[in-house]
């Protein structure tokens, strides 16, 4: 009799939760449709409701010294196995309630959908960053690509003079991880004061404990909307880690598209007032230019590399040696495919290629800076 009452009570609870999640799902669907139809709506929602949710999540998980998302990911296989064992036991005892399992599954799916869309999903439909920052963005011509690469290389070589390098050729970050994170925050605060960016966020980014294993997927970092955490693979070379912190913090602040997150990371590092972060920003940007020239004009690529300062070349070689054992892994192919599918599903037809499109935003930024300087003079 007691078991019957308990089952009835549990069944009522599940029904009530299901009704609540159905209403939540309906509300979220309306928000998603309106966001797709109107960039102004998406912009407003992401800077109000979505921002508050991201802020609260970051505040709650920020006190935890490890990545909650990573722990959940590690426990997930155990939970799946436990669920399967429970299901088998229920079948054996002839207590397998299909309706209850279906309802519970729907609740989990509806909740996941609602959290993702309201916390981060709407950010994909905001106004393009070039509109917000008033940048003239377009596909770069061969000449523009070459000139911007030279401009970036000149600044990079100047920044490299203020950086210490190891015997292997790799640059060395003089700051601890937490110090680097705080410097990135300082950069974002500077952007807020200058009116370039309008979002703040509490808490430090999280080190991924299994970073060496994650490197086989070629993932350098990941923002997790369900926990509000910016997760960083700390196994990569120092300049990549520093830039990745800034990149994932851009996602945390509601910058969804990868090229835009790269550009905000660049601006934050440059605005931090720190020599190493400035070097990391320029080194990553120069990498994107070299990738673009290699795909478009191999002769241009060779010319750029041949005339690049030896310090930068040694940094590149050190990265190549580090990455050698991780390249070509099956895990990276799967991760790349999943990431590409996800980005395209969010409306960006370029997929993983969108990371490199940061050079178009960068070009518009350079042009705007030059025009402002000309007017000032």
**Radius of gyration of the chain, Cα coordinates, nearest whole angstrom:** 24
Q: How far apart are CA 217 and CA 236, in angstroms?
A: 12
Residue with tokens 């693979």: 233
- Put residue 80 in one of left, alpha, beta given phi > 0 → left and psi -120 to 50 → alpha: alpha
Could you count the other beta carbons within 10 Å of the beta carbon of residue 351?
18
Banded model confidence at residue 91, pLDDT cuts 50, 70, 90: low
**pLDDT interval class at 351 (50, 70, 90):** low
- Coil, strand or helix: which one is 76? helix
Determine the Cα–Cα distance for residues 328 and 215; give it in Å rounded to an integer.
Answer: 12
Instruction: Please tell me the least confidently modeled range out of 117-121, 266-270, 367-371.
Output: 367-371
pLDDT of residue 49: 95
Report pLDDT digits (tens) over 160-203: 999 999 999 999 999 999 999 999 999 999 998 776 776 788 88
Q: Are 192 and 198 in contact (CB under 8 A)?
A: yes
Angstrom distance (rounded) from CA 205 to CA 66 = 9
- Note whether 6 and 96 are within 8 A (CB): no
Span 201-249, pLDDT tens digits: 888 899 999 999 999 999 999 999 999 999 999 999 999 999 999 999 9
Count other C-beta atoms under 10 Å from residue 104's C-beta.
14
Distance CA 316, CA 310 (A): 10
Residues 288-341: pLDDT tens digits? Answer: 999 999 888 889 999 999 999 999 999 999 999 999 999 877 877 887 787 777
Task: Give the chain's length.
Answer: 377
- Strand 164-165 relative to strand 171-172: parallel, antiparallel, unpaired? antiparallel
More confident residue, 2 or 39: 39
């Amino acid at each position: 009799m007691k078991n019957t009452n308990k089952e009835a009570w549990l069944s009522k609870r599940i029904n009530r939760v299901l009704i609540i999640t159905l209403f939540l799902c309906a509300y979220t669907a309306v928000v998603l449709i309106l966001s797709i139809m109107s960039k102004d709506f998406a912009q407003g929602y992401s800077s109000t409701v979505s921002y508050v949710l991201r802020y609260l999540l970051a505040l709650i998980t920020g006190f935890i010294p490890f990545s909650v998302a990573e722990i959940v990911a590690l426990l997930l296989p155990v939970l799946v196995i436990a669920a399967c064992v429970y299901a088998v036991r229920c079948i054996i005892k002839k207590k397998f309630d299909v309706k209850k399992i279906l309802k519970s599954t729907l609740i989990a799916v509806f909740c996941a959908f609602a959290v993702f869309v309201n916390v981060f999903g709407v950010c994909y439909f905001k106004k393009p960053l070039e509109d917000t920052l008033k940048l003239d963005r377009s596909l770069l011509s061969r000449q523009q690509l070459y000139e911007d690469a030279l401009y970036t290389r000149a600044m990079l070589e100047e920044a490299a003079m203020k950086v210490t390098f190891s015997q292997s050729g790799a640059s060395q970050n003089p700051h601890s991880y937490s110090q680097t994170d705080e410097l990135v925050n300082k950069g974002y605060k500077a952007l807020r004061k200058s009116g370039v960016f309008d979002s703040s966020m509490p808490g430090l980014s999280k080190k991924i404990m299994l970073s060496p294993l994650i490197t086989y997927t070629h993932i350098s970092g990941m923002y997790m909307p369900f926990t509000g955490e910016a997760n960083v693979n700390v196994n990569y070379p120092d300049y990549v880690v520093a830039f990745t912190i800034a990149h994932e913090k851009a996602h945390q602040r509601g910058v969804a598209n990868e090229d835009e997150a790269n550009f905000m990371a660049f601006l934050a590092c440059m605005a931090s007032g720190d020599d190493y972060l400035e070097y990391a920003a320029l080194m990553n940007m120069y990498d994107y230019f070299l990738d673009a020239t290699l795909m478009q004009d191999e002769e241009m690529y060779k010319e750029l590399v041949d005339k690049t300062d030896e310090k930068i070349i040694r940094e590149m070689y050190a990265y190549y040696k580090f990455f050698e054992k991780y390249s070509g892994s099956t895990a990276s192919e799967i991760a790349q495919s999943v990431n590409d599918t996800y980005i395209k599903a969010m409306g960006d037809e370029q997929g993983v290629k969108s990371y490199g499109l940061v050079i178009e935003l960068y070009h518009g930024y350079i042009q705007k800076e030059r025009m402002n300087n000309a007017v000032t003079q």
